[in-house]
Structure 1
Amino acid sequence: MKLDPDTCYQTLLARDRRFDGWFFVGVSSTGIYCRPVCPVRTPKRQNCHFFLSAAVAEKAGFRPCLRCRPELAPGHGLLDVSAQLARSAATLIEEGFLNTAGIPELAARVGVTDRHLRRIFDTEYGVSIVEFAQTQRLLMAKRLLTDTCLPVTQVALAAGFGSVRRFNDLFLHKYGLNPRRFRKTIDTNVPDIVSFALGYRPPFCWSEVLAFLKRAQIDGVEKVGDGCYERAVEIKRGERSFVGWISVTNDSRRFMVNVTMPTTLIPVLTEVLAGVRRTFDLSARPDLIDTHLGDLAAGYPGMRVPGAFNGFEIAVRAVVGQQRSLSDTPAILSRVAERFGTEVTAHDALTRTFPSVVLFSRLPLSALEETGITRAHAEAIVALADEILTGRLMLEPAAPLESTLHALRRIRGLSEWAVQYIAMRALGWPNAFPEDDAVLKEPLCHSSVGELSRRASQWQPWRAYAMLHVWRRSKKAR
């Protein structure tokens, strides 16, 4: 994407939040780069330089603004097919992939060669993969220095730096100051709980998203109430497993969600925040989606498609949801978590994590049947786990869509409804649409799949969002 400077400057003058995160402005008179919604006095046109990403702005020698904080800008959606590979790689980098792996592994993850990925990434973002990753680590470190009282050593490691010395040198080189000087005072009493903010583009239909999550809540793993979403999490980093909980609330005045967690999850902070972004679809463009859906979205602007903190968990939900009334699915999954999940401490309502894919692959089918899952669907769940563990299947937005859908359809016991549900919530595909969904037919007054498909064609490429609006009317758990 090429930036038109005059258009960007008009957007800057209007402080149009629809473009927050889509470009950054560097001000030559100050050496600072900002988001287009920065509240400071608008700089003169001749002093403005526009960049596609924070990494390009920093490569040009600009430092991040301390007022609008570029690290809080919402991200890009993945609808642009021509740039999807590069953006998939960028998403993985933002989630900390290169903290434990190299560029060859990143290229293999998105399904291209090392050389090809470097070329298309530079074309899309204007910086190398290394420079992009370096900026992400610096911005994460800046966030930790600003929002927490964690020791600098822990900040450096949590941000993905291999050593404190490397972190100090790079921070000084890029931002012109020692990280320790970033804090006016040193608090030796580090709290047990920390909070972070993640930006989004308004509007945000927060109450309806919570209502969706409430209807599908897995007791013991999730809790939804009083404007808050909480869940237990378990994230593996190498041989270590980090277990804890998160709490997410909405700050509608600042257009941000606040994420609270124990400091025990700080080593996997990038993965935690990435999971929250996916769960609440924070990269969505409601200005485009709502306009396209028209009357269907009227009255409920800013609907999000709840994504996946864990793609495999969504897949299990989809498989179990095929067998009987969907209202029974959360109860079955709660029994699964209670029996096989990892125990969570220091939280009254959250007691277990959802079991890992490794554990499911080792379970005897009889153990799953005892929780209320049918034999055929237990076999499908174990098959899914095996496909993921062997690397033949990935259930995340960065996964190649067509080949992933094809792999899912090959698994015995998965209906097309389940495949589309997984595509919508685990793969983040905005055009997913289960045409054989019985709940959709009733409010839309269509009895056949063909009629429903023709009606839904007007909503492309946002059929998943349209489906959420129809489900909202039905008040059924999904």
Structure 2
Amino acid sequence: MNTNITHFQQARLSRDARFDGLFYTAVLTTGIYCRSICPAPPPKEENVRYFSTAHEAASQGFRPCLRCRPDSAPGSPAWLGKETTLKRALGLIQDGFLQENSIPDLAERLGVTDRYVRKLFSESLGCSPKQYALYQQILFAKKLLHETTLPIADIAFAAGFNSVRRFNDCFHLQLALSPTQVRGKKTSPSESLSVTLSYRPPYDWKQFHSFVAARLIPNVEWLSESGYGRTFINGNQRGQFTATWEPDKNRFRVALQLSEPKHLYSVLNRIRKLLDLDANPDAIAQTMADATNQSASNGTRIPGTWDTFEAGVRAMFGESVLGAAAHISSIEHVLIHDANTHVAYFPSANTWLSHVELLPLPDANKQPLSAWAAFCLSQQTAHTSVDTDTDGRNVRDIRTHPLSTMQYNYACLRGAGLPDIADLLDDANNIPSSSNHAAPWRSYLSLSQIHEQQSTALNQPQGAIEKNKDIS
């Protein structure tokens, strides 16, 4: 690793959670690799080796620690983002792309050759794309074995394997343990599914909560003092989750209802993106402080939506980074209501196009929504992230969609979680535009500035609020 080893030594010995997932430590005497926060007694430095990724440690023959569980570490390691094509490839793999597609399909999606993709992974990660994807599936299965009571067969399918035998063979090959050995004890099946999702602290829950509260869609989303939940449509499946913030443990506990565990891998990755759990808050805060020459809010996150189609529809109905306008009553007609459970679902792009004729909306409203749905599907962004170049702009012709520039940027912000959108505000807003010096985190700077100004406005006397009402 081409990084200052001294920093890793200090982080390991202090068990600093801010470095969790940025690197892994392997111990020569035990053959085990760990997270930087592992509670086990620290080994001697001469017996420690440092790796950028879990897969690098595994490829050197080390197996994951059963105590600190590297499968639970936050994502977004330090090297992510240095190579745009690699970043897009890893994002697609996290969305489960290789579970149903081949490496040539991945290369075509990325707009490069099969040979280039393999070379990129070999030089950057020391493995092939398939090997990387397989190890992520195994770590995900390990997490489910630790945290859930799902039967091993269901875990195998949830992790993307087509047979239990294939799952058992790969699991033992990668971890030198069987799934039963990792689980350790007998469990009884449960209707509820609960998993934990870790993040790198700090996490500005107050800011996230405030942003979502102003844009909450009743019956689709819900908020509590320390939790956020919502319904969702994933493929042909409907579900819902509630994520409860556990700040003392730097994680969210997610209670999930999902009738078919096969898509659990992609669903949990979507929840991670929605809560922006893979951000590196220290790096973001430092860049924002350097750009503004003043201390910046640490822990800012991008509050996501379920997918890019939903974020675009919200924007078309008046939602923006400055507020929700009066969109809630209008957007009610777009939702799919469940009379039995009294909840509602935001349609996916596919669902919208197949049910649009049944919805009580004027044709003048249906047409642009259908055009946006068709665009999302044609760009393959409805259920994955937006394809972008190094400047955060869509690599394809954005003139084929019905959104304005501001609406499109909002869709990319909340739907795809793009971290470096420069133009989230227009010139009429009394909020400083994001400085180019804040790249590649300009989205976070805008959100932080908006939250700060709106919080200040709420604490001002009534006369001052009226004077500045254009920013509330």
Using the size of structure 2 for normalisation, the TM-score is: 0.86
- SS of 1:249 mapped into structure 2: strand
Q: 1:334 aligns with which of 298, 316, 332?
A: 332
Match for 1:50: what amino acid?
Answer: Y
**In the alignment, which residue of structure 1 is the partner of 2:447?**
468
Q: 1:390 aligns with which of 373, 378, 384?
A: 378
**In the alignment, which residue of structure 2 is the partner of 1:140?**
140
Does structure 2 conserve the Cα–Cα contact (< 8 Å) formed by 1:430 and 1:463?
Answer: yes
Corresponding position: 1:177 with 2:165 = no
Q: 1:425 aligns with which of 400, 410, 414?
A: 414
Aligned CA distance change for structure 1 residues 187 and 195 (closer, same or farther; 3 Å): same
Corresponding position: 1:353 with 2:353 = no
Superposed counterparts of 1:2-401, under 5 Å: 2-76=2-76, 81-188=81-188, 190-236=189-235, 241-294=236-289, 300-321=297-318, 326-337=324-335, 341=336, 343=338, 351-362=343-354, 367=359, 369-370=361-362, 375=364, 378-391=366-379, 396-397=384-385, 399-401=387-389
Please list every run of 5 or more consecutive structure 1 residues that lacks an aligned counterpart in the other structure: 445-451
- SS of 2:210 mapped into structure 1: helix
How far the C-alpha of 1:367 sits from its partner, in A, is 4.7
- SS of 1:226 mapped into structure 2: coil
Deviations 1:110-144 (A, max 9, x none): 22222111111121212221221121111111111
Distance 1:193 1:30 in 2: 36
Does structure 1 conserve the Cα–Cα contact (< 8 Å) formed by 2:309 and 2:349?
Answer: yes
Does structure 2 conserve the Cα–Cα contact (< 8 Å) formed by 1:296 and 1:466?
Answer: no
Deviates further, 455-464 or 141-150: 455-464
How far the C-alpha of 1:456 sits from its partner, in A, is 3.5
Does structure 1 conserve the Cα–Cα contact (< 8 Å) formed by 2:348 and 2:382?
Answer: no
Using the size of structure 1 for normalisation, the TM-score is: 0.85
Q: Alpha carbon RMSD of aligned pairs, Å?
A: 3.1
- SS of 2:409 mapped into structure 1: helix
- SS of 1:327 mapped into structure 2: coil
Match for 1:353: what amino acid?
Answer: Y
Does structure 2 conserve the Cα–Cα contact (< 8 Å) formed by 1:326 and 1:477?
Answer: no
Aligned residues: 453
Deviations 1:48-73 (A, max 9, x none): 12222111111111111111111111
How far the C-alpha of 1:428 sits from its partner, in A, is 2.2
How far the C-alpha of 1:15 sits from its partner, in A, is 2.4
How far the C-alpha of 1:226 sits from its partner, in A, is 2.7
Match for 1:307: what amino acid?
Answer: G
Please list every run of 5 or more consecutive structure 2 residues that lacks an aligned counterpart in the other structure: 456-469
Aligned CA distance change for structure 1 residues 119 and 463 (closer, same or farther; 3 Å): same
Aligned CA distance change for structure 1 residues 153 and 143 (closer, same or farther; 3 Å): same
Match for 2:113: what amino acid?
Answer: T
Distance 1:322 1:227 in 2: 24
Deviates further, 195-204 or 324-333: 324-333
- SS of 1:441 mapped into structure 2: coil
Does structure 2 conserve the Cα–Cα contact (< 8 Å) formed by 1:380 and 1:411?
Answer: no
Match for 1:219: what amino acid?
Answer: P
Aligned CA distance change for structure 1 residues 477 and 242 (closer, same or farther; 3 Å): farther
